[in-house]
Structures are given as C-alpha cells and as structure tokens.
Amino acid sequence: MQGVKLSEIVVVGDIHEGINFGYNIDAEFGISKRALDIHRNFAKTAKYAIENSARLLVVLGDMFDRTHVSPTFRELIRRDVIEPLEKEGIEIWIMAGNHDQPHGEKKGTSIDDFRGYKNVKVFRKPSVEEIELEGKSLGIIIVPYLHPEQVARLVREKEGTEIEREQMFLLGQKLLKQWINNRCDEFDTDYRILLGHYYLEGAKLRETACPEILPGEFSFTRDMIPETLDLAVFGHVHLHQVMGSTPEFIYTGAIERIDWGERDDKKGFVIISPEKENLWQFRELPVREMVKISLEITSEEEPTKKILDAIPEKVEEKMFRLEIALDEGVRERISESRISEKLKGAFYYDVRWKELSSEKLGYMEFTMNPYQLLRTFLKTNYGEHPKYEQILKEGEDALNEVLG
C-alpha cells in the first residue's frame, strides 16, 4: 500500500464470534449458519478496510462471545480478517469487552491468541495511543471493559482500604473520569478521540429478556466524557445510536442482529476520517431479516387459518418468531404441521404459546436452542440469586463442553 492515502479508521463493535445458536448447523464448520452470518459481516468489514486503504481497524470489545471460544472461530478470524489485513499493512486494535475480558488480569483469553501478529495490538487495560492520519494527529484514549472486581482492585490500590460496593463504583467513576481528563490535557494533537466498551447512562437498550447490560455493572456517567474530546465511540450497547453533540458520542451497535430485541436495528460499522466533512460516518451492512408475529386468538375463531394468514407468502431465508396468545382449549384445534409446511423455507422459526387464563400465564417457548432454554430456565428460577451470573456462566460452560 505504498503511496496510497491512509485516510480512514474503521471501527466495529460487538461481533460476538463464537456465540452458540444451536440450530441450522453447517456441516463443514460444525457451527450454526447463524454464527456464520455474523462472521460474514466481520469479514465484509475487513474487506471494506482493505478496499478503502484504511489506516487501522478497531474492534471495540466483544470480538468473541466469551473468553475462550472454539478454534474454528479463531481460525475463521485469522483467515478472513487478521491475515488479509496484515498482508495489506493495516493495523488492528482489539479491545476487551465484557464478554471476552477475563475477570482475572493474569488469565489468558482468546483475543490474546492474535498478539503474535505484527499488525495486532490487544488492549485489556486503559491505554493511550497517538497516530497520524492524512496529515492530522489523533490522540486516542482506549478504555476496555473492567469487571466490577477489577474496578474494586483499582479503587483499593488508589484508596488503600476496603469500601462498600456503591462507594467503590462512585470512586471508580471519579478515578476514571480524572484519568480521561488528564490524558486529554496531555494530548497536543489535532483531534482527541475516546474509544470504550461501557454503558453510558441514557443509552437505548434492545428490548429483550436477556439485555446486554447487567444490573450492578460498572458504567459511565455523562460527566465522565470531557468536552475537550472531539469524538467518543463505544461498544457494548447493541443498538446503533448517537448521543449528544459536545462531544459527539456514538454507539456503533452490533455487527449483526444478535438478539430478537435488535430485529429492526440497522447494523454496520463507523469510519473516522479527518479529511471528510464529518469526522465520522456510519456504514450499513446487510442483515438477515427477523420477523416477529404476535396474535391473539379467541375460541370463536378458526385458529390455524388465522395463523397461516398472518405468515407472509415469502419466507425464504428469513427468521420467524410467532407469539400466539389463545383462549384455553384452542391450541388442541391448531394444525402445527400446516404451520410447519408454510414455514418450510424459513431460515429458522420458533413458536411461543400463551393460554389466556388466570392460572396459565406467560409464553411457553418451543425452540431447539439449548442456550436460550438454559437462560430462560435460570432467569425464571434464579434471576434474583446473588450468584446468578456465576450460575449462568457455569451452565453455559457445561453446555460448551457437551456441544463442543
């Protein structure tokens, strides 16, 4: 790429390679074709970086869905992202997110596997970098995700004493705010940019029973974003959005629709370029269509016909979720084989039934996804347990062992 203008930084967030869907398993790779949807968009992002002579590709955390993933996913990323970018001399910065940041600082993780490439930097602690881009200097503050216990260690080191959790978070926010402000003041650059992986208060979250933001996690307040910044770009929240103008604060959003709560959200990545009229732009990527159909059926109606009429004629390669509320006793009159026949060409579908009676409340999910079934079961039975997250992690780890 000698003699070619390097005028862009490509920024992508929340890829979640290695996520388990448990359906439509590709025979060649042994993983869900839905996981390959996600990988294809990551590969398309890398291809864009190559075709547009990008200076740098930044992953804003959660490149992987967990700290350790199958070698298959690591090999796909090497083949389609890391090595093609290395060949073209394009740098890659990988930040740790809440999914791929281990709780222990000395523990290894799948993102560390790429440290051996000369074009790759992995960030698991707050850091600063300065780069040149099209004749402009950029000072970049990098704030990977810190788990609550990591924030606690940071505060203990600074304060030299044990403090309560609520105070610990407030002090952690104060310390990180001061650190970011100090780094901004130290930069003698044309632009100052903050890259992070946190929830910022007021951000819109996806509508789902399994939100990306968990209660009690460390988050950012608006006063932690100094006005001396030119731009803040964050991962962690899966919905693409712009928050505020001084400075501009952007969530790239996830690279594909990870969850049904994201079914209407545009997906893509952000490019940063000082030579363009706007410092940043959003580039959209193709996504698989997700169709949610909600119906209520009374005992007087013909249930199968109503359901079939609600399903569009063209179902090929789309994902469907049917949420059907019906009077007690109606379900026995439904021909599920006719519903299956109409959805035969769909990429995937599941049906959730809800009987409208005082004794039976809530949707009953019919799905072959063992991970979703596990999450639903644990959320229902252990959602308030103080060690809920640990129970969930151990359950998912056990499934990973069984399913490979």
- What is the C-alpha to C-alpha distance for residues 163 and 167, in angstroms, rounded to an integer? 6
In this structure, are 306 and 261 located in the same domain? no
d(CA 369, CA 354): 19
Residue 362 and residue 270 in one domain: no
**Residue ranges of E strands in 2-135:** 9-12, 56-59, 91-95, 120-123, 127-133
Same-domain pairing of 32 and 86: yes
Report pLDDT for 150.
84
Of 220, 239, 126, 244, nearest in space to 182 by CA: 126
Q: Is 351 found in the same domain as 208?
A: no
Among 111-115, 132-136, 333-337, name the one with the lowest average pLDDT: 132-136
pLDDT number for residue 149: 82
pLDDT at res. 358: 44
Examine the fold and report which residue of 285, 304, 334 is the final residue of a domain before the chain moves on.
285
Same domain for 143 and 157, yes or no, is yes
Tokens of 198: 């946190």
Number of domain units in the chain: 2
Angle at which helix 388-403 crosses helix 370-382, to 10 degrees, equals 160
Residue with tokens 């706007």: 278
What pLDDT digit, counting tens, does each position of 229-272 carry? 999 999 999 999 999 878 999 999 999 999 898 999 999 999 99
Q: Identify the bridge partners of residue 191 per DSSP, sorted by sequence position.
A: 138
In contact, 31 and 25? CB cutoff 8 Å: yes
What range does the domain containing 21 cover? 9-285
Task: Give ∠ CA 59-60-64 in degrees, rounded to 5.
Answer: 70
* Pairing relationship of beta strands 280-285 and 290-297 according to DSSP bridges: unpaired
Judgement on whether residues 139 and 158 belong to the same structural domain of the protein: yes
Task: Tell me: do 177 and 270 sit in the same domain.
Answer: yes
- Looking at the fold, whether 256 and 304 belong to one and the same domain comes out as no
Q: Are residues 121 and 259 in the same domain?
A: yes
Q: What is the DSSP string of 217-267?
A: ---B-GGGS-TT-SEEEEES--S-EEEEETTEEEE---SS--SGGGTT--E
Question: 3 in a domain, yes or no?
Answer: no
Contact 367, 373 (CB under 8 A): yes
For range 185-197, the mean pLDDT: 96
Q: Around 76, how many Cα atoms within 13 Å sit in the side-chain half-sphere?
A: 23
Structural contact between residues 255 and 267, judged by C-beta atoms closer than 8 angstroms: yes
Query: b/e per residue, 379-400, with b = 16+ CB within 10 A?
Result: eeeeeeeeebeeebeebbeebb
Q: Please tell me the distance from the alpha carbon of residue 158 to that of residue 151, in angstroms, as a whole number.
A: 11
- Per the listing, tokens 């049904």 go with 260
> Which of 245, 262, 243, 246 has its CA nearest to residue 254?
262
- Contact (CB, 8 A) for 109 and 147: no
Write down which residue in 285, 305, 332 finishes a domain: 285
Contact 264, 205 (CB under 8 A): no
Give the model confidence (pLDDT) of 20-77 as tens digits: 888 999 888 889 999 999 999 999 999 999 999 999 999 999 999 999 999 999 999 9
DSSP 64: B
Domain assignment of residue 362, yes or no? yes
- Amino acid in the structure at residue 157: E
AA letter at 218: F
Task: Please state the pTM of the whole predicted model.
Answer: 0.84
Within this chain, do residues 54 and 137 fall inside the same structural domain, yes or no? yes
- Whether 49 is covered by a domain: the verdict is yes
Under the banding of pLDDT at 50, 70 and 90, the label for residue 3 is very low
* H or E segment to which residue 196 belongs: strand 191-197
Give the pLDDT band (50/70/90) at residue 361. very low
**pLDDT number for residue 179:** 93
The answer on 113 and 50 residing in a single domain is yes
Class of residue 304 by CB neighbours under 10 A (exposed 0-12, middle 13-18, buried 19+): middle
CATH code, domain carrying 201: 3.60.21.10
Whether 164 and 274 map to the same domain: the answer is: yes
Burial of 312 (0-12, 13-18, 19+ CB in 10 A): exposed
- 310 in a structural domain: yes
Structure-block tokens of residue 400: 């990973």
Domain-located, residue 246? yes
Residue 4 lies in a domain: no
Q: Could you give the CA distance from residue 395 to residue 139 in angstroms, rounded to a whole number?
A: 42
Query: Which of 232, 251, 285 is the C-terminal boundary of a domain?
Result: 285
Q: Within 13 Å and on the Cβ side, how many CA atoms surround 239? A: 21
Average pLDDT over residues 87-102: 94
In a domain, 221, yes or no: yes
